[in-house]
Structure 1
Amino acid sequence: MSAPFRFPRFFVTSPSPCPYLPGRQERKVFTELTGPHAGELNDALGRIGFRRSQSVAYRPSCAGCAACVSVRVVTDQFKCNATQRKLMRRNSDLVATACKPWATEEQFELLRRYLKMRHPGGGMAMMDEADYADMVEHSPVDSYVIEYREPAAEGERGRLVGACITDRQIDGLSMIYSFFMADEDARPGLGNYIILDHITRAREAGLPYVYLGYWVKGSDRMEYKTRYRPMEMLGPNGWSALDDTHVAKPLPAQQTPQFA
């Protein structure tokens, strides 16, 4: 007989500076994903706005601020616009492979270059190879790394230009973290192409959603997530369509002191 399912214990982090909105602070609620029911728990928490990081599921729990909004693309209704169709054609020669969640030196070198160009002062900038291996390999759920390579001669491997750590959930693909060539040697639009490829993969697998994590109103770094319509956002009454009125609405001021 299997062990009974236990309701998870949740914890709250101490407040720290928000990486997206200057002058605000963030706090997260989290729980561990362990045991034989880790996948089921991750699926359930994903539907209410949690994200996975290694063996932890978390979501924002900030006092007086609700700028972080969980968003997901509705795959069977999504249609590329002209710019996205051009991007798909331009990168149609890339070879995408879903690999087991095993970190490689080549992946880490690509991540290091990506962080140097895109997030030089971010919290991940000091990651070493062991940290990256933990991020990839310590997954208690159905997870893999999708690699994107340029074409090569027969018997050879093309240059790795992009990768995404991806979870397969019961109702969709969750893009945990993507990274790609972002310097002068890079193809333009690789990050957007990786999202488009995930939408295609999910639709072909019969999965209704691609989870993109949090859209942060007021953060230029997160604006790109609203380009993939139709999209749903998670609010107090559940999931609903995200439209231009939500995107255009100004960011509300904090309603209470940040933290007591």
Structure 2
Amino acid sequence: MSQTSELKVGLTATFPCSYLAEKEEQLIMLLDPEDNAKQHYSALMAIGFRRSGEQVYRPHCPACNQCESLRIASQEFKLSKSQKRLLNKNKHFTTRIARTISVDYYPLYERYINQVHRDGVMYPATKTQFDSFVACTWGEILFVEVYDQDKLISVGVTDALNYGATSAWSAFYCFYDPDYAHTSLGKYTVLQQLALTKQHSIDFLYLGYYIQNCQKMNYKNQFNPHQRFINQQWKDFD
């Protein structure tokens, strides 16, 4: 990791954790990401970092280590019986990849945040918040779009990464039409991202942080086999 040894980082103050009640959160942040992130982001992802908008961070909490970066080797992933049923249930949906933000994205995001995440830190949604959260001037972003005929129903914002001979995608964020909640669009979109990583010979799909004691994060360990970054190394889970 000599590439990252000269990077400047800083610690935030502690603040209430977004995922675990009564916990304090603290982040280690890459300083000057506009200058350094494009070159080093892939390597930083490989040691547990992640982005939010232009910022690159990793949890560095004084009394908690429950956030575990999780990734899936695309060529090794195996569909479970329930995932096969989900794909069959949604077989009438179609998937496309876009490389620019569509004007259709924000209305979908706004409905998703205001109906599904009314208890979250991003409620209520605003266009300014959406732009600063999703967009990234230094990174390559793909948008995995899911359609019901001609209707856009889900968007998986996906970062494209390259680190030496290793390639990866990062499932940065997904937002979907709340009217389709019964179709498990969040899980379905991840399955589409995995199918595309395999199709395009991408080595890994990162799913962000897995937190065992956070119910909202538990779906991530249903994609197997997978790896989690624990004690500074990637460990295999089936």
TM-score (norm 1): 0.83
Where do 5+ consecutive residues of structure 1 fail to align?
152-157, 244-260
The Cα of 1:117 is off from its aligned counterpart by: 2.7
| Regions of 4+ moved over 4 Å | none
Match of 1:247 in 2: none
Partners of 1:102 and 1:136 within 8 A in 2:
no
Residue identity in the other structure for 1:50: F
Distance 2:12 2:213 in 1: 23
Figure out how many residues of one structure are paired with residues of the other and give that number.
230
Distance 1:44 1:84 in 2: 31
- Aligned residues: percent identity? 25
Provide the secondary structure at the position in 2 that maps to 1:76. coil
Match of 1:196 in 2: 191
Distance 1:22 1:190 in 2: 27
Match of 1:129 in 2: 127
Question: How do 1:40-59 and structure 2 match up within 5 A?
Answer: 40-59=39-58
Distance 1:119 1:87 in 2: 23
TM-score (norm 2): 0.90
The Cα of 1:6 is off from its aligned counterpart by: 9.2
Question: How do 1:94-173 and structure 2 match up within 5 A?
Answer: 94-104=93-103, 106-151=104-149, 158-170=150-162, 171-173=167-169
The Cα of 1:146 is off from its aligned counterpart by: 1.9
Distance 1:9 1:236 in 2: 22
Bigger strand fraction: 2
1:1-26 CA deviation, whole Å, 9 max, x = no partner?
Answer: xxxx9932111111111121111110
The Cα of 1:94 is off from its aligned counterpart by: 2.0
Partners of 1:143 and 1:167 within 8 A in 2:
yes
Question: How do 1:86-97 and structure 2 match up within 5 A?
Answer: 86-97=85-96
Residue identity in the other structure for 2:60: S
Match of 1:220 in 2: 215
The Cα of 1:172 is off from its aligned counterpart by: 1.2
Match of 2:20 in 1: 21
Is the radius of gyration larger for structure 1 or structure 2? 1
Farther-moved stretch of structure 1 (134-143 vs 47-56): 134-143
Partners of 2:37 and 2:56 within 8 A in 1:
no
Structure 1 vs Structure 2 CA RMSD: 1.9
